[in-house]
Amino acid sequence: MKKINVNDTTLFLSFAAVILLMPIWLSPFGAAYPDLLQKFAIYGIFAIGFNILFGLTGYLSFGHAAFLGVGSYAAVWSFKLFTMNVLPAVAFGIFFAGLLALAIGFLSLRRSGIYFSILTLAFAQMSYNLAYSVLTPITNGETGLQLTSNDPRWIDAMYKTPEAGLPSTELFGLTMNGYPGFYFCAVILIICFYISLRIFRSPFGLTLRGIKTNQKRMKYTGFNTRPYMLAAFVISGMYAGLAGSLLAITDPLAGAERMQWTASGEVVLMTILGGVGTLVGPMLGAGLIKYFENIFSSFNSGTLHEVFSFLPDGLEVVVVKVTGLFVGSGWHLTLGLLFMIVVIFLPGGIVEGVQKLARLFRPKTDDDPQAPAPQKQAAE
Amino acid sequence: MTMNNLVLTLNDVQKSFGGLRALADVNLQVEEGKTLAIIGPNGAGKSTLLNVCVGLLKPDSGTVMFDGQELTGKQPHEIAQLGVARVFQTPEIFTDLSLIDNVMLPALSKRDGSFKFNPHLHMRKQTEVRDEAEHILADVGLKEQLDMEAGSLSRGDKRRLELAMCLILHPRLLLLDEPTAGMSRHDTNQTIDLLKKIKQSGMTKVIIEHDMHVVFSLADKVSVLARGKIIADGTPDEVREDPLVKEAYLGGAHQ
Amino acid sequence: MDAILIQILNGVDKGAAYALIALGLTLVFGTLGIVNFAHGALFMLGAFCSVTFNKLLTLSVKVKDEGVTLFEAFKEEPYLKIWFGDTGLAIIDYSVPLSILMAIPVMILVGYVMERGLIQHFYKRAHADQILVTFGLAIVLQEIVKATFGANPIPQPPPEIVAGSANVGLWLGLGESVVYPWWRLIYLVFSGAVIFAVFAFLQFTTYGMVVRAGMRDRETVGLLGINIEKRFTIVFALAAVVAGVAGVMYTPILPPDFHMGMDFLVLSFVVVVVGGMGSLGGAVAAGFLLGIVQSFASMNEVKEIFPGIDQIIIYLVAVAILLVRPRGLLGRTGVMED
């Protein structure tokens, strides 16, 4: 494995530093406010977990949003029933998402290739439809699950007198919004990254990569591939559940739209944009997409007119009209285009792109801190 | 000659695809430590025979016994764990992984069994596995390219890599499907030498081969398969003189 | 008996739409080997061809309203009425079926551009990449439609003469309780005709023969020296047209909105899987079957026993099929069974 191992500690430490210092180095980009930083961290966890499945095994799940949603619901229920402390909420989120992943994975992994993708998609749509209809007592349907003033909160009720208004989430007294909320998410993200790093470097991780490259050979080598796949699927489902519970912690409500398949598509995009199968790629992709979503959505025709006010009048109107398609509520159009552009021109994602560039400038290097970006090959 | 343990026994194995009979009442016995070569014209059912042995195909009737255990109905990975390894006709390797990873994977399977959840371990610390993998890669002559991606190897090197991947499993029975196809004469001879060396270690082998040079250098016994039936078996010299065999080969050429 | 017939009738028109979309989906998969997540968007584009056509027909100008004499009043009057009088109004009334005339060339063009511009570069790439790029394209197409036509559904009335319901029950001697909107009946006949046309094209033309051979064994057909690529383009355009006209004719049943493509796509994929990947007959059979199954699952009697079953029944069927009979109802053995 070349010199990679020497660099793993450095990689981990620099990752941790970059994440923890985000409030500082992101401020010139206008992104250093807690709400957005929390999103970076949460979706980073989601994408890192997704990458453990898609990046290592090559199995493309189109249903991971279901686990995100379940994590959110479980966390909000923990707030409603037990306590506003975030730790049980996180634990419940991970647990129930893992349970659902176990069930869905057990069935879906009986097939591979596009059948696997369609099965996961079908299960996620099923969860979504159920959350909107019969499961309304649990999910509160279209309104979404929220805290109310007459929630029991049994544990909190035992030693605290409820204050007026809705309580906020807390970690042993520390309120989980604003920067404390971000740092809580960031610490969890760093732990998640460490776990992912260890999985990548473990025999288990190597086995998963073997399955991605040649499942047939794995079987004739004596590996029972299905439990390995299931373990990877459940782990990535738990990551998604964790991300979902964190979403509920930073903003205690959960809605079914979180489980929609476009949400599953978004995490796929994050992963491939950054670089499938690389360690930092998914985090990079998640950060970029949430950053641009934030910027692009905030534009409206007023701000566009300001931006392009230097242009001559006639031209300005046209430019504003065209760019207006891509910003504000048109952000999804940009997202779709980005999706296509990445898949067409940069299937290895940004990390591979950077590596290619680096190789251009330094023709003879073999100390890239990244695992070699996997090459695409026909899945069947 | 003393009668050794029978490692592989096929009893009346039959397999049809649609109306086509690929294997008809095939009986085979391979003794411990011996090398059996299966020859025959194209479409005789040779690959089907190996596929039945490793669990890729289920025979319609008959049994495949390995070392006293029945293989029919077992999963491929179970059969592999019992000690049956296979070299395929087109090399089945991990093209995206480095050579050393390619060989370490089977070593892990040998050490840990068919499933072990071990994300807490670090590959760097699996020194025994790595040492053995390096050793075996040196044996097949690929020592210099440990960190190269396996997909960029030449076809002949890919076959040698696959052989190394099977050898590190220390199988009791090694099945080889045309192990030298696509190799230069020089590489073929190297492979023959390597296989001879393995033979001294007592590994039992079944080889499918077209190259008679390979067959006669390695085989203790030869079985001739034509249209799903074994039409002759015996020592290489006996088979060479068998009139039925000559006819089958000529007939095969005309098909 | 009546109740069963009603449920079947309620199911078949949706089933017909599933079948038409799935037909193109499976055709493209079978011949081109492409998993097209943007196929639902083609259905949606077809529906919006109808909307556009209707808008074109009803282009209006402000004229003085002669009916109001007390003061000067103006009203919108379509050019067609001004130019052709009642004939013009009749044309507007028939805008949905007439818009097929516009949809066919538009969809051919869309299919051609899509295949030449994007899909052809993905023949040799992994299915995962195909899924991702067409997924992106689907988002782009639906967002463009959203930006152009807005987010709200736009109702399209069927022609006046078929606005009511047919008394199907009386025809079959079942009493008056079974009624069925005329337009849905027309949609059924129409989709039957389209399906028949597609099968006839594949069965009786040399073109179709090559396509069918290509579905069986692409490489060999390529080796025969037949220009497969060109035929691929035509197959893709054909699939686009089928999805497009299915969308046009569906507009009176379901007012089109920008996300209808995605909604139908997921279900159509399920239909293809149930029918058997690459099996045309399977797609049609499974389309109608699932439409009817869904309709039965939404009966109150059924919902009382299994709450929410109507929401998930199609997926349940698909999951069961994939696990028990992976090649689907009519799929060939060995095709993508893994």
ipTM of the modeled complex: 0.89
Domain ranges of chain B: 1-83+171-255, 95-170
State the best of C44, C135, C267 to mutate against chain A, taking most chain A CBs within 10 Å.
C135
Can you give the pLDDT at residue B99?
93
Q: What pLDDT shows up at residue C338?
A: 44
Q: Closest-CA residue in chain B for A215?
A: B94
pLDDT band (50, 70, 90) for residue C337: very low
The string of pLDDT tens digits covering residues A214-256 is 999 999 999 999 999 999 999 999 999 999 999 999 888 888 8
**Domain range annotation of chain A:** 4-260
3-state secondary structure of A174: strand
Mutation site for A-interface testing, chosen from C127, C139, C141 by largest number of A Cβ within 10 Å: C139
Measure A210 CA to nearest chain B CA, in Å: 6
Q: In b/e form, how buried is each residue of C91-122, taking b as 16+ CB within 10 angstroms? A: ebbebbbbbbebbbebbbebbeebbeebbbeb
Q: Which positions in chain C touch A114 (Cβ < 8 Å)? A: 35, 127, 131, 336
What 8-state DSSP symbol labels residue A299? -
| Chain A with chain C: Cβ pairs closer than 8 A | 130
Of B81, B119, B123, the CB nearest to A1: B123
Higher pLDDT, C335 or A350: A350
Place of tokens 């399906």: C195
The model's confidence at residue A339, banded by pLDDT at 50, 70 and 90, is: confident
For residue A216, the chain B residues in CB contact (below 8 A) are: 92
> Do C126 and A377 lie within an 8 Å CB cutoff?
yes
Q: Which CATH architecture has domain B1-83+171-255?
A: 3-Layer(aba) Sandwich (3.40)
Total beta-carbon pairs less than 8 A apart between chain A and chain B: 118
Does C139 contact A377 at a Cβ distance shorter than 8 Å?
no
- With an 8 Å Cβ cutoff, is B46 touching chain A? no
- CB under 8 A, 24+ apart: contacts of C159-167: C159/C93, C159/C94, C159/C96, C159/C97, C160/C93, C162/C186
Are residues C322 and A118, on separate chains, in Cβ contact within 8 Å? Answer: yes
> Which of A126, A271, A338 to probe the C interface (max C CBs under 10 A)?
A126
Residue C103, pLDDT score: 92
Q: What is B171-224 written as a DSSP string?
A: -SEEEEESTTTT--HHHHHHHHHHHHHHHHTT-EEEEE-S-HHHHHHH-SEEEE
Give every residue of chain B whose pLDDT is below 70, as ranges: 1-4, 248-255
Q: What percent of chain A has pLDDT over 70?
A: 93
Q: Is 60 exceeded by the pLDDT of residue C264? A: yes
* Chain C: closest CA distance from residue A176 (Å): 35
pTM score, two decimals? 0.87
A204 and B86 within 8 Å at the Cβ level: the answer is: no
DSSP state of B56: S
**Please, which pLDDT band fits residue A367 given cuts at 50, 70 and 90?**
very low
Nearest-CA residue of chain C relative to A338?
C136
- Does A122 contact C270 at a Cβ distance shorter than 8 Å? yes
Q: Which pLDDT belongs to residue C79?
A: 80
Alpha helices in C118-155 (DSSP H): 127-149
Cα(C126)–Cα(C110) distance, integer angstroms: 24
Check A343 against C121: CB less than 8 A apart.
no
Any CB–CB contact under 8 A between A123 and chain C? yes
CB contact under 8 A, C323 and A110: yes
CB contacts of B96 in chain A (<8 Å) are 209, 212-213, 374-375, 377
Taking the Cβ of residue A3 and every Cβ of chain C, the question of whether any pair is shorter than 8 Å is answered with no
Q: Which residues of B touch A212 (CB under 8 A)?
A: 96
- At residue A363, the pLDDT reads 59
pLDDT at residue B1 in the model: 43
Contacts of A202 in chain B (CB under 8 A): 118-123
pLDDT of residue B140: 85
Determine the average pLDDT of the residues in C6-18: 87
Q: Across-strand partners of B13?
A: B26
Query: How close does chain A come to C142, measured CA to CA in Å?
Result: 8
Judge: A336–C266 Cβ closer than 8 Å, yes or no.
no
pLDDT for the residue numbered C224: 66
Rounded mean pLDDT of C112-136?
A: 89
The beta-carbon neighbor of A343 closest among C133, C140, C273 is C133
For residue A325, pLDDT over 50 is answered with: yes
The pair of three-digit structure tokens given for residue C254, joined into one six-digit string: 């379901």
Tell me which of A215, A343, A344 to substitute to probe the interface with C (most C C-beta atoms closer than 10 Å): A343
Predicted confidence at residue B26, as pLDDT, reads 87
Give the mean pLDDT of C329-337: 61
Maximum CA extent, chain B? 62
User: Mean pLDDT across the stretch C200-216?
Assistant: 80
**CA–CA gap between residue C179 and residue C169 (Å, rounded):** 6
Q: Please list every residue in chain A whose beta carbon sits closer than 8 Å to the beta carbon of residue C308.
A: 129-130, 133-135
C96-106 mean pLDDT: 91
Say whether pLDDT at A2 is over 80.
no
Maximum distance among all Cα pairs of chain A, rounded to whole angstroms: 71
Mean pLDDT lowest among A160-169, C50-59, C121-130, C189-198: A160-169
Instruction: Among A53, A108, A134, A341, pick the best mutation site for testing chain C contact (most C Cβ within 10 A).
Output: A134
Closest residue of chain A to B122, computed from CA coordinates: A202
**Residue B131 or residue A380, greater confidence:** B131
Give the nearest partner residue to C322 out of A119, A261, A340, using CB atoms.
Answer: A119
- Name the residue among B105, B120, B147 with its Cβ closest to that of A221: B105
- Is the CB of residue B83 less than 8 Å away from at least one CB of chain A? no
- Return the residue of B nearest to A235 by Cα: B119
CA separation, residue B70 to residues A47, B45, C37 (Å): 46, 21, 46
pLDDT recorded at residue A376: 37
Q: What is the pLDDT of residue A201?
A: 93
The band of C222, judged by pLDDT with boundaries at 50, 70 and 90, is low
* Residue-level pLDDT at A32: 82
Three-state secondary-structure class, residue A111 = coil
Neighboring chain C residues of A272 at a CB cutoff of 8 Å = 132
**C247 CB-near residues (< 8 Å, 6+ apart):** C42, C43, C44, C45, C46, C47, C48, C49, C50, C103, C256
Give 3-state DSSP helix, strand, coil % of chain C, rounded to 5.
Answer: 70, 5, 25
pLDDT band at A374 (very low <50, low <70, confident <90, very high): very low
Give the span between the Cα atoms of B246 and C4, in whole angstroms: 70
Neighbours of chain B (3+ CB pairs under 8 A): A
Two structure tokens written together for A42: 């949460």
* Contact flag A1-B124 (C-beta cutoff 8 Å): yes
Chain B residues within 8 A of A214 when measuring between CB atoms: 92-95
Residue B88 token pair? 């395929």
The rounded percent of chain C whose pLDDT value lies above 70 is: 93
| Chain B residues with beta carbon closer than 8 angstroms to that of A277 | none
Q: Which amino acid appears at position B136 of this protein?
A: I
d(CA A371, CA A2): 10
Q: Is B93 part of the contact surface with chain A (CB cutoff 8 Å)?
A: yes
B148 touches chain A (CB under 8 A): no
For A179-221, the pLDDT digits (tens) are 899 999 999 999 999 999 999 999 999 999 999 999 999 999 9
Average pLDDT of every residue of chain A: 85
